[in-house]
Every structure is written in structure tokens, then in C-alpha cells.
Structure 1
Amino acid sequence: MVHRLERLVIRHTLRLPSPAGPVGQGDVAARQFDAALISVGFKLSADALRRLSGLSEGTVVDTAVRTLETVREMVGDHVQHNVYFRDFPANVPDTFEFWTRCVREALEDRKARPGVLAQLRDGVINLLTLPSYGNYRHTYDEMLAAHDELTAALGDRLTVLHLGGTPADEVTALYLALAGSTTPLGEEHLADLKVLAEHCADGPQPETIPVRENRAVVNEARLKAGSVLLLDTVTDVLRLACALSGGDVSLQERTRFRALSRPVRRALLAGLDSVVAAAPAKLADVLTHREAFKRLGERLHPHEYPQWPHAAEVFAVARGEKKAHTFDARVEALLGADDVTGAAELLRSAPGRLFRALDRLLRSAATQEERDAVVAAAEEVAPEVSGRVVLSVREYLHNRAEETGRQRVFINRAGRAHVADDTRAVVPEADRKRLIAALDAEVGRRLPVPERLLVDPDMLDVALPLSGRATAAGLGVLPRGSVSPVEGELLRFFVYWKQKQRITDYDLSALLLDARYDTVSWLSYTNLTEVEGEHSGDITNAPDGASEFINLRLGAVRGTYIVPQVNVYSGEKFEDAEESFFGFMLREAEQQGRPFEPRTVRMKSELRGPGRVALPLAFRRAEDGSWHAKWLHLYLKGHPAYNRVEGNQVSVATLLRGIVEREQLTVGYLTELMANSGTDVATWDAESVPDGPVTYIGLERPEGLHPDSVVITPENLRDLIPE
């Protein structure tokens, strides 16, 4: 467990917990450890190297083994990445030539020959029936022998591992940061929080846990530890029950409740009873999840516990035996009567709901007087609304321009997306601008005002993580909508998957679009070579894991956009596979090297979404010829099987247009507000590191900062979101 917790700290914070061990002469082992890290694109900070050098050799070696295992997995180097075409990207054949060769080899195979001849008579050949198609023709070692070593380049990635505090302090700090996050966490981070919460149940706790899903995970640990539960709504109890059953604490997916022990049933019923006794109006929340409460009641047996009568009322409401008038019903009644002013007045008592209803209220208003009442209500209650909601509405209003005919992009919590025409009536521009000004003022009021703020320019276009679900877990991953520069001559995508039970075929493809989002070309198993680059070959079965690559020469790309995608052609979905991840590398033309070189990896993210077509990010060429990545983290539903790039060109192009044309709130937005509040904002200069403490915002933590400095990187970017 200790080692598992240490791995979590490294993955989430890029900090190496300070090893405990006897003093010794570990300098040689420490330098060897650092060299091994550099080979996979990491290195020790000066403080970390100094600390390890003063420990015993055995302590350093043990630390190195654990850390190398962790960082290799972070970058995707924990598996063997073989390719179908051994010399890739060299000597990749023309697609038709390759298929013809596979047919010829099949005709030379006595077992395969009759079946191939029969297919030829029918005029259609199924590639998957050809013995030489889709399976590796050489070993991993044979592939390695065909490639020269990678030549080092200045552009190779070097991610610094900084020295942390004691393992206990680092684990506690990570737990407090995740549990107290002001934004929802992704599925992978929620799973990490569960591990941390169980370990830290008896230790320090965050002052508040504003995100309900996080609270459910913490409550599960508190219940097991016998601590007091954190409950203020009946839905908190329902989420806890889902957590105890291994279900979805966000309540988006149906949870099959497990049989619960008597002590657990008593704890849940006592919790429901106390919530309703303190605020009977909260019974109305039951109606939102009526069916789930019905099923939970079958597990809790509330009739066996007459000492908690208010808990029984919860299930009476769920069964329809007791009336509960919802707040939303009262709002709907007022809007149904065209009383917008009355609805706005009622919503003052629920500031978050008022903010989420602003667009509808403004569109429903028949007069300027009504619109003024809505805006005035929003201005008055803004201080009571969570920072994440304020920022979300601010971003929404920014993109709610007056002109019509635009398209709306809908993205659910799991990252599944679709596009529809925007048929809503316009929001008057004067009211939109007035609200934007009010929200800017509110956000500015809540932001800290550090004396000096140093900002890495590459961080300014990083989108604010208003939901952790907008960012996949992985290395070098930025929130959806972020824009980051891409520097290098060669861009190489990779996907790795390992099937769990069924034969599974994933297909890596890259769609090339022009400035009008029309298809220029693509690279895939149906088009192995193009002017722009090469595909490594189709692998159709992954019992031991499989990889596919696409190599692109950015200077040769015809078009404006490159959209990599991973299609589930057959077999297990991303969520069901034993392992699946995507990433990209950047190289210079002269570097050579293996198809997969860990220190050239710029991003590696998990593929665990619900659809059958994954769109991790897209690349756009600017007018000056430079390239930038736009982070998507999206999934298309796709077809049950046989998804191909040729079949989803239109849907991908339409979705990309909607995302590209939408503007996110970025780090630059917040730094501008800080500057307006009197903060001295300056561009980071590695050659001139200040002596005193500062607030630093950048893609990675630089060395040499004062220990009392506040450092914001993508790993803790959520800390920028005000409460």
C-alpha cells in the first residue's frame, strides 16, 4: 500500500516523496538513477539528486526501481510497442500492393488457398481471413534491431521530478487537494481519491468538500472507519449507497445496489432521517432520482427501523405515497404563467439554479423591465454562487453571441459529444454584456491578489478545468479546449490496447481537413501512405497487447487540421479493454530511433470513454505556418462494429468546427483579472529567478523558486478556480 500511495503522489504531483533510509554514499547510484530517468524523458531536480546522494546505495536503488516503474507507465513505456511493418516509418508499402502481397501469400498457403479462391470467385476478399494480415510477422527484438538509436535533441521532453516532503505529508496533501477540489474529478482521479480517503480517514480532513461526488467517496471511507458522515441532502445518502455498491456516484448510470450489512443499513437510514428532520423540504430531492430511491429502499428495509420515521418518508415519496412539492415545479408554474419576474424572485433563494436558468429567463422575458429584474437578481446573488458555476456561466455567455445560425456542441459528463443547430432566440446584447461585466467583477473579487505573479506564456491559452471530466488522465494532458504549441518536424501518434476477453481490433487513423473542414486526405489501414506520412500497419488481435502508429511530416501536410482518432473496429469497447491509451510524440527529422521513444512523448492519455470513436485532440496550422494542438477529449457513439475514418468524416468535421469556434475561459483570462486588481504580472524568465516568494503559473515547475512560492501547473490547475 505504501508503494501504491507513493505512485499516486508521483503521478499527480511530479514530486518524489523524500525517501527515508540510512545515511550513506549514494551519489553514484543517484546519478545512475538520474541517467535512467533521462532515457524515458524524466530527470531529478537538483534538490532530489542531492537528497538521494546522501542516502545509502540500497535506499537509492529501491527508490529508483519503484520510481522508474511509475514514470515508465506514465509515459506508456511499460509495454512493448511493436509494429506490423518492421522498418516503419521506412519501407511502408502502397496499400494495394500490400493487400495484393497478402493475397499472394495466402494462395501459397495450402490451408488458406481454397477459401481465398472461393472469395476471388465471388469478387470480394475479406482481409481478416488472410493468414499474413493483421498479425505481427516479427518479434519485438527483431523490430528493435532494425532501428538505429535515437539521436538526442534539444526538443526532447525532460519532465523534472521535484523533491517532496515525507511520504506521509505528501499523501495527506494530495488527499486534501483531491477531496477539497472545487471541480469534479474524472473517473480515474475519483478512483485515486478512494484509495487516499481510506488511508487518510483518521487524519486531517478538508474544511469543505464542495463536489458531491468527492463527498460520496470520502463518506464511504468515513463509514468504514466509523467516522461521522458528511450529509446535507438525501441525495448525499444515495450517492454513498452507490459508492458502497461500486456504482456511479455521479448518478448518471444505473447502479445495481448490493446487499448491505445491518450496520451499513442503520448508518444510511440514520443519515436520511437526520437530513429530513432538519429540513423536510429536502424530501423534494427524492423525485429527481425516484427509481433509484425505490431500489435502495428494497435494500435498506426501512420498515424494520421505526426509530427513524423521517427516513421512511423518503421512500414513501419515491413510491408516490407521499406528496413532495419540488422547487422546480414552482418555478415551472411561474414560467408557465409568463411570470418571469416572479420566477427570478423565487430563484433568488437558490442562487445556483438561478444562474443555470439565466438564458431561459432572458429569452422568456417579454419586456426590458423583466430582463432588468433577471439581471438584477443575478447580480445580487452572484456572491453566493460557487466559483465554478460563475465561471461556467461566464464562458457560456461569451459564446452566446447575438447572431443566429450557429451550431451548439453538447458534451456530457463522459465526454460523448454531438452537434445540433442553435434554434434559440437571441439574448439581447446589452443584457449579455451587463451580465458578463458583473461576473467578471465577481470572479475578480474572489481571486487572490499576489504581490508578484510570473506566468509562462505557453500557459495563457490553457483552458480552465471547470470539470475534471473535461480532462483525461495521463501525462502532459490539458483540459478540453486548451491550445498548446507544437514544435517539431515529425508528429507521430500512437495507440496501444490489450484485450481482456474477446478478439479486439482498434484502428488508429488521422483525418486531414482544409480550412473549410472539408476532407483533404487521411491515413489509416486503408491508406497506408500519403504525401504527409505513413501508417505502421493494421493489427487485428491483441491478446498480448498491440500498437499502431501514424507518422506525419508537418511541413508536407496539405490542409489546416489534423484530427487523429481511434476507432473500435471490432471487439471490446475502450472501457472494457484491459488497457488502452493514446499519445503523440514530436521529433526532428534526423533523430531516427524506434517507433516508440519515451523521451519524445509529449502526451499520453487513457482511452476509457463510452463511445466507439475517440477524438483526443486536433492540430491546427496557423497562418504563419506554426502548429497548435486543440484538446478535445471527446467520444462519438459510433457503430457497434466496423467503425472507420471514411465513415465518420462528416460527423468529425462538424464536431471539430463546433469546438474550434467555441472559446473557453483560459488562464490568460484569470491573469488579466489579477492584473486589473493590482497584481504585478510578468512573463517568466528562467534566466532571472527572483530570490523571494512569488506565485508562478506554468506548464511545469521550474527549479530555483523560493520554497514559499505558490506554484500552479496543469497538475493542480484546479486550485485556480475560486470557491
Structure 2
Amino acid sequence: MSRDLVALVVRRTHRLPVPGRESGREPGGAGQGAVQARQFDAALMSVGFKLSGELLARLSALPGPQVAEVAEAGLAAVRELVGDHVRHNAYFVDFPRNVPDTAEFWFDLLVEALRAGRSAADLDDGSGIDLLALPGYGTYRHDHEDLLSAHDELVAGAGDRVTVLHPGDGLEREVEALYLALAGSTTPLGEEGLRDLAVLARHCADGPQPAAIPVRENRATVNAARLQAGSGLLADTVTDVLRTACALFDGDVTLAAPTRFGPLPRPARRVLLAALDEVVAAAPGKLADVLRHRERFKRLGERLHPHEYPRWPHAARVFAVARGEQRVRSLDGRVDELLAAGEPGTAADLLAAAAPGKLLRAFDRLLRAAATAPERAAVLAAAERALPAASGRLLLSLREHLENRGSRESRERTGGERRVFVNRDARSHVTDDLRPPLPAAGRERLAAALDAETARRLPADPPPLLVDPEILDVALPLSGNASAAGIGVLPRGSVQPVRGELLRFFVYWKQHERTTDFDLSALMLDESYGNPTWLSYTRLGSVAGEHSGDIVEAPDGASEFINLRLSKVSGRYIVPQVNVFAGEGFQEVEESFFGWMLREEEQRGLPFEPRTVRTKSELRGSGRVALPLVFERRDDGEWYARWLHVHLRGAPDANRVETNRVTVADLLRAGLRRQHLTVRHLVALMTANGARLLPRNGPAPDGPVTYLGLARPDGLPEGSRVITPENLHELIPA
């Protein structure tokens, strides 16, 4: 059994492949592996996981050695999923007890240095004493065994996380099903999702393929595996072929960053050129797409040598356009000319016929350009004609956009005259919103049309709905960069309740080549996003909590923690952040992740306890300051977490909570007012479309249901469809 593939399946589905079920048959020999299965279950419970009753029974029916093999792979997978695959140490061995006052801590280090024979002149570099350079600062002064002995064992609590693992089919069938689901996804995958798809595509290149691959980045990833397996490409644009070439060199298939192309073997060159030739021969107008990525096509042409293959003359035209030897007129250029001439209705008609998706993306601009009622009516009519040809993700994205384009008066009432942009790398930018408001009638008319078109694509005779209320405020995953890999991680804009007294953040990082210092901080703000207080390496303690101490290098990995008593926090917002103080960024380190735990005072335990981890989120982004989420206390006194998944550019070095607090406050002021489309929206459309909503605590359903929840429950009828955050993208209609 491939441990890597098992880990991939467990991480993405919370299902454990069961040997012997490859053909759908149940394993025989009941009771042979019962002892090993119960031992496996006990080991899982120590890290906050548990076997479902059905999975425990199925494993018990396997031979003991087989259960042991499954247990080894499964336990390794869940430990990595929750962040327990590494050792978490803390600078202060007793944390959160006995954390010293900040000034007292620095003074003690200074005294210790002087007692060790260092003079004041040795410590002063001419500009003062660098406290961060004092001997003993920023490196562990005890090992992990010392940490273990300094803490009492964790007392189990009723609120501890229990994540249930459910039974899967044999590994090959699970891998195939996961491949088909990811490749056929109606929404873009994030960075980790594309890596997983690449692994699965190579493994499944000779097996069944999805009926359609609507997302271009997914298609390129699959195409790279097909090419390496000797199959043809799935391409209907020249950009599809360019993305495939990027995938072959492990480059960026989103085309947001350049890819360095290397030499290509002749068979690969022939496949790529044949695909380009076929696309252009069928639709010469698609040569205009070359203009958007002219430099990349030039670089690709240098590797494909199209002049050596005269049998594909249409492919050669692609590179002639890229070099400027052949002129083509782009659709964007024609639209710009019409807008400059004051003809937005004609521009909308052109887009509706040639590129319906592009029309919907440009709808806001076109409607604002329409100065008269007839022009506005023409733009709206063109947009309505374009709806049936657009993807479900685009329909919902535009619907969310309209939700946030209210009148100027409503924006002024909410203070929403600031606008937040988040790019593919999760880098955020806040600016003034200078756009004039959209006409209310036009906005409402298109919103109703979008809802009607989305509802039309939902199942006509759906099974009853069984809905966990806590998934209703989870944002729909309309963008691949709207989330991060991990456990308990929700898409940007999702809101979830926080139930517990002790809230503990943690960050772990391991440097790759250079000495790297990440700093965990927590900024606390009032209802006006002012009156800041914080916990960081410069302020180790307050009435509300403690910082575990600063670690300044991580050759073998390092952790930092912040402990907060929610009842003692005086502010309205808590903003955990990870600052790159020095060294490698989030995309350069060998590994880095952030998470938070919940527990009660009497539970004790180590600084890191996997059973209390609510979320563990990978840190990947191009900025130097990471803001995974914000905690908000509402008027009823209850705390809620809202996922941000954004990065600030920050400074090259020495990023600190004190220096970025104004930027963070500005981001929150604009970002928290943004409305996100959530599962609640689709549930409302489903019920309006005829789906019956079952009572949450009613009698057990007597037939298949569609279950929506944060985790899959036991006991659902055979044939039920289950939607959880792990496969929430499947809820988005095609």
C-alpha cells in the first residue's frame, strides 16, 4: 500500500482505503484483525481522530498484518494532517505558566551575559545593545523531553475535537474516484490541489477519465500526464497548450508567474504543435489569445522549433503572431473601440455572441458606461442572453459581486468606500472605491436572472436535504486561492462559532537553506479598529494571555504559541498574524503552518495537543505577513472566527505587529463588510427548486439524502450524497 497515496486520500476525503474492497466485495474472516483495529482506534483517539463503527468492523474482519499496514499508513496521514508529525517545543518550558514580564526577561538575559564574562563594550555595537543578539536569546534552552516533564497530562474534555474516519473502497478505487472528482471540479483548485491532481493524473493516466474538465488549470495538469503517457491533449484554445507546456516543467499553470521552459523531446514537441495546429485550423480567431501571453509563446516557440514541422502550418502562425510578424485583432481591442465610441450596448452584444463569460466579467464596467436607459437595457439583455453559456462558478461569482455593489448611500452608511483586492497569491491590497454605484434596478434585475439560471442547473428531482446549521455560513469556494490546505480550514469569508475559554494560536516553520525567523503575534482592536494592544515577542504577557517566547532560527523546525483567555480580552477583534522577521518567505521554507486550539483551564496539557486543534492551515503566499483569520466578538458576547486567507506585502525584513497594525486595521475595516455568497444561498435555491428540507433532529430518513455539514455523520442511508468542506466544490453547479 502506497503511504503517499493513502495520505492523499485521507487528507482530502477523511476516508481510509480498506484492502479487499477493490471489487466491491466485503473482506472475509470476521474478527481476525479485531485486536489490531482496536489498538489503531486508540492510537487515533490520542490525536483527535476515531474510526467510524463501520470502519472498525471492516478492519476487524481483515487479517492482523493487513490491519497493521493500514494502521501505519493511516496514523501517519492523520498526524501530518493535524500537525502532529513534528515536535513542537516552546522557548519558555512552562508556557503558559511562569512567562516572565518582558522587561524582566531582557534584564535577566543581560545579567546572564555579563556574568558569563561579556562586558558592556562587547555588547554595545556603537548604536546600543542589540537585545536580540544576547547569548541564549531565540534558541531553545531545553529539549522536547524537558518540555514533556514540565507539563501535566492533558485531561480529556467534552469539547475536544473528534474527527471520524469513514471506510473507503480499495486504494485504487479511492484514488480513481478522487482523481475524477478533482479533474472534473467546477471550481479552480488551490496550489496544493493542483499538486495532488498532478500526482493522481500520472497514476490514473491509463484509466477512466472525466467526461469534462471545465477548469483550464485542471485541464493543463491532466494534459501533462496524458502527454507523458502518450495520449492526445484536451485543448480548444491556444492557451490550453501553453498551460500544458508550463505543467510539463512544473511551472505555474495559472500563468500568473513566468515558467522557464527547457529542452523538450521530439515526441512532446510534436504533440504540442499538433494541438496548436488543430485549434487554429478550427477557429483562426483564437490566434488573438496569443496577444495576452506573447512573451511566453515566444519562449515556447524557441523550444518547439515549429519551422522543422511544415505539416502544421497553423501552429507556425501562433508564433508568428507572438513575434509580431502576423497581425490579429483582439476581441478586447474591438470592445475598447466600441466603448470609446460610446456604444456599450453594441459592445455587450459582441461579447454575448463571441465570449459570454467575458461579457459577464465585464458587466459592471459595461453597465456603468451606459449613459441612457436604452443602453442600460441593451447591456442587461445581452448579459441575460449570456447566462446559459457561462459556468456555474461565474454565475455565483457575479451574484456575489452584485451583492457588494449597493448604492452610494448604503456604502456610506456602512463605511464601505474602501475596496479590497486579493490576487492569486493571496496578496491583499486596499484602495478607495471610486466606482460610481450601479443602478439599483439593473443590479436587482440581473441578480434575479442569475438566481433563476443557477436554480435551473440544480437537480430537477433532488433527494431530501439534511443540513447541519453550522455549514450555512461557510462561503462557497469560488476561487482556488480562497482557502488553504489543512484540517478545519474554510474558504475566505466563512464564519464559524468559537466555543471555549482558552484560545491558543500556534505557528510551526522549518527553514530550507537560510536562517529564518517567523514571529507569531496577536493584535487586538476595539469596535472602531483602534485602541490596539498586542502579544508578541516584544510584549510577552498581558491580562488576557501569554506569548511562548521568540525563536529566531529553525534548522530542525520551530514553534511559537500565543495563549488567550477570551473572557479577559477587552477588544472586539483578535487578529493572529505571522510575520517574516528574517530569512525565507512562506513559499521558500521547507514547511510552515498556522493553527488554533481550544481548551479549558483545567485540561492542562502540553503547549501543542493534537486533540484540541481546531484548524491547521498551511502558510503559502507571496507576502511577508500572513493573516489567516480574525476572531470577532459580536453584540451577544459570543466569539466567531472569520477566515481571511490574505497576505500583506510587508517589508523585506523586520516585520512586526507594531509596524503593520494600521494596515491590518484598514484591511479589516474594508474586508469585514464584504458579503460572501455562502452555502445558505444555495440551500435557499435548492428548497425553492423543490428540495425538501428535513428537520435536523427529526426521525432517521428512510431513503437517500443530500447531507450538508462540517463532517460526515454515521448512519446515513445507502446512496446518500455527502457534502463537507473537503468536497464543497461539488456543490457548485456546472
Shift of 1:393: 0.4
CA RMSD, 1 decimal: 1.2
Shift of 1:123: 6.4
Instruction: Give the secondary-structure state (helix, strand or coil) at the position aligned to 2:55.
Output: helix
Which of 486, 492, 498 is the matching residue for 2:504?
492
Q: 1:249 maps to what in 2?
A: 253
Q: 1:399 maps to what in 2?
A: 404
Distance 1:320 1:616 in 2: 44
Shift of 1:125: 1.9
Shift of 1:707: 2.0
Which of 639, 661, 670 is the matching residue for 1:649?
661
Instruction: Give the secondary-structure state (helix, strand or coil) at the position aligned to 2:166.
Output: strand
Q: 2:692 maps to what in 1?
A: 680
- The reply on whether 1:532 has 2:544 as its aligned counterpart is yes
Instruction: Give the secondary-structure state (helix, strand or coil) at the position aligned to 1:680.
Output: coil
Which of 414, 425, 433 is the matching residue for 2:436?
425
Q: Structure 2 counterpart of 1:414, which letter?
A: D
Distance 2:670 2:259 in 1: 33
Which of 44, 47, 71 is the matching residue for 2:78?
71
Q: 2:286 maps to what in 1?
A: 282
Which of 531, 540, 556 is the matching residue for 1:544?
556
After superposition, the C-alpha distances for 1:687-708 in whole angstroms (9 at most, x for unaligned) are 7432321110000000000120
Distance 1:359 1:322 in 2: 33
- The reply on whether 1:444 has 2:448 as its aligned counterpart is no
Contact 2:123–2:130 under 8 Å retained in 1: no
Q: 1:207 maps to what in 2?
A: 211
Instruction: Give the secondary-structure state (helix, strand or coil) at the position aligned to 1:518.
Output: coil
- The reply on whether 1:29 has 2:39 as its aligned counterpart is no
After superposition, the C-alpha distances for 1:51-103 in whole angstroms (9 at most, x for unaligned) are 11111221111111111111000000011100000000000001011011111
Contact 1:446–1:722 under 8 Å retained in 2: yes
Distance 2:699 2:91 in 1: 49
Return 5+ residue gaps in structure 1 as ranges. Answer: none
Which of 717, 725, 728 is the matching residue for 1:706?
717
- The reply on whether 1:218 has 2:225 as its aligned counterpart is no
Which of 237, 253, 270 is the matching residue for 2:274?
270
Distance 1:634 1:205 in 2: 35
- The reply on whether 1:86 has 2:93 as its aligned counterpart is yes
Q: Structure 1 counterpart of 2:223, which letter?
A: N
Instruction: Give the secondary-structure state (helix, strand or coil) at the position aligned to 1:66.
Output: helix
Contact 1:217–1:240 under 8 Å retained in 2: yes
Distance 1:242 1:141 in 2: 47
Q: 1:118 maps to what in 2?
A: 124
- The reply on whether 1:295 has 2:307 as its aligned counterpart is no
Q: 1:558 maps to what in 2?
A: 570
Which of 142, 156, 159 is the matching residue for 2:163?
159
Q: 1:460 maps to what in 2?
A: 472
Which of 42, 47, 51 is the matching residue for 1:44?
51
After superposition, the C-alpha distances for 1:234-280 in whole angstroms (9 at most, x for unaligned) are 00110011111111010000111111111111111111111111111
Shift of 1:114: 5.5
Instruction: Give the secondary-structure state (helix, strand or coil) at the position aligned to 1:590.
Output: helix
Q: Structure 2 counterpart of 1:418, which letter?
A: H
User: Relative to structure 1, is the Cα distance of residues 340 and 98 closer, same or farther in structure 2, using a 3 angstrom cutoff?
Assistant: same
Which of 318, 321, 324 is the matching residue for 2:325?
321
Instruction: Give the secondary-structure state (helix, strand or coil) at the position aligned to 1:184.
Output: coil
Q: 1:665 maps to what in 2?
A: 677
Contact 2:124–2:130 under 8 Å retained in 1: no
After superposition, the C-alpha distances for 1:585-610 in whole angstroms (9 at most, x for unaligned) are 00012111000000100000111111
Distance 1:444 1:178 in 2: 23
After superposition, the C-alpha distances for 1:449-490 in whole angstroms (9 at most, x for unaligned) are 523101100000000000122110001100000001110000
Shift of 1:435: 1.0
After superposition, the C-alpha distances for 1:31-60 in whole angstroms (9 at most, x for unaligned) are 111011000000000110001111122111
Q: 1:13 maps to what in 2?
A: 13
Shift of 1:116: 4.3
Contact 1:509–1:550 under 8 Å retained in 2: yes
Q: 2:23 maps to what in 1?
A: none
Contact 1:116–1:125 under 8 Å retained in 2: no
Q: Percent identity?
A: 64
Q: Structure 2 counterpart of 1:296, which letter?
A: L
Q: 2:530 maps to what in 1?
A: 518
Distance 2:543 2:132 in 1: 27
Shift of 1:632: 0.6
Q: 1:503 maps to what in 2?
A: 515
Contact 2:506–2:594 under 8 Å retained in 1: yes
Which of 359, 371, 374 is the matching residue for 1:366?
371
Shift of 1:19: 2.2
Contact 1:457–1:683 under 8 Å retained in 2: no
Which of 357, 373, 397 is the matching residue for 2:362?
357
Q: 2:184 maps to what in 1?
A: 180
- Alignment map for 1:138-153 (pairs within 5 Å): 138-153=142-157
Instruction: Give the secondary-structure state (helix, strand or coil) at the position aligned to 2:722.
Output: strand
Q: Structure 1 counterpart of 2:320, which letter?
A: A
After superposition, the C-alpha distances for 1:102-146 in whole angstroms (9 at most, x for unaligned) are 111111123x43654435xx5622122211110111111001101
Shift of 1:22: 7.5
Distance 1:298 1:689 in 2: 64
Q: Structure 2 counterpart of 1:523, which letter?
A: L
Tell which deviates more after alignment, 667-676 or 545-554: 667-676
Distance 1:684 1:560 in 2: 32
Contact 1:511–1:519 under 8 Å retained in 2: no
Tell which deviates more after alignment, 23-32 or 584-593: 23-32
Q: 2:395 maps to what in 1?
A: 390
Instruction: Give the secondary-structure state (helix, strand or coil) at the position aligned to 1:630.
Output: strand
Distance 1:74 1:314 in 2: 45
Q: 1:190 maps to what in 2?
A: 194
Q: 1:56 maps to what in 2?
A: 63
Which of 570, 581, 592 is the matching residue for 2:604?
592
Q: 2:424 maps to what in 1?
A: 413
- The reply on whether 1:637 has 2:641 as its aligned counterpart is no
Distance 1:620 1:125 in 2: 39
Q: Structure 1 counterpart of 2:430, which letter?
A: V
Q: Structure 1 counterpart of 2:625, which letter?
A: V
Q: 2:24 maps to what in 1?
A: none
Distance 2:28 2:717 in 1: 28
| Paired residues, number | 719
Contact 2:541–2:547 under 8 Å retained in 1: yes
Distance 2:284 2:463 in 1: 47
| TM-score for the superposition, normalised by structure 1 | 0.98
Distance 1:572 1:307 in 2: 49
Q: 1:608 maps to what in 2?
A: 620
